[in-house]
Structure 1
């Protein structure tokens, strides 16, 4: 039958079963062969899906704005002062904490006016 018949294998037997799945040193594993190989997958998989009558569904990609809207219900490009849509033009890397705090204080002061 199989190894799954015994319900309580000893520790040694369990280790032998686990180690039987570890390949020997310098053993070349073939993971993807034929239509799943890296070289052929892009050209052959659509043909296989067509022959099987399956529909190819493209993976959805989410950007930062879509994730913020979905999870936090907040549009990160909506201006907190006037409500207009802001346009991302770039960022400044390496701002010090003091400059960030002063920028936030300026926004708070402008918002309270």
Structure 2
């Protein structure tokens, strides 16, 4: 096992808040071979939830984008899975009913050949 380091550099904020607040959630590999995940990051005056991406080949981390729908910003993404085309689905915990979200990366396939059945994980 190798240590890949922090999910995203937070500076001193990592020790200022509870572990729950900075928890990495919704890990899923995309068709590009990169690991996608969600995490709250300290942005401006308010912490915000972001979709992040890690390239396992070189360890580079990058922000894909802030997760926000109008005034709603998911706090806890519980799980994630790809579909056969390369779209990534995320489920939010802590809401009733549970929120479901989709991220459509550029360059996904129009044919269901990107992932096989064995690559699609069950929710949970």
**TM-score bracket for this pair, using the shorter chain length:** under 0.3
TM-score (normalised: structure 2): 0.19
TM-score (normalised: structure 1): 0.21
The higher-RCO structure (CA 8 Å, 6+ apart) is 2
Higher helix share: 1
Q: Give the structure with higher Rg (CA).
A: 1
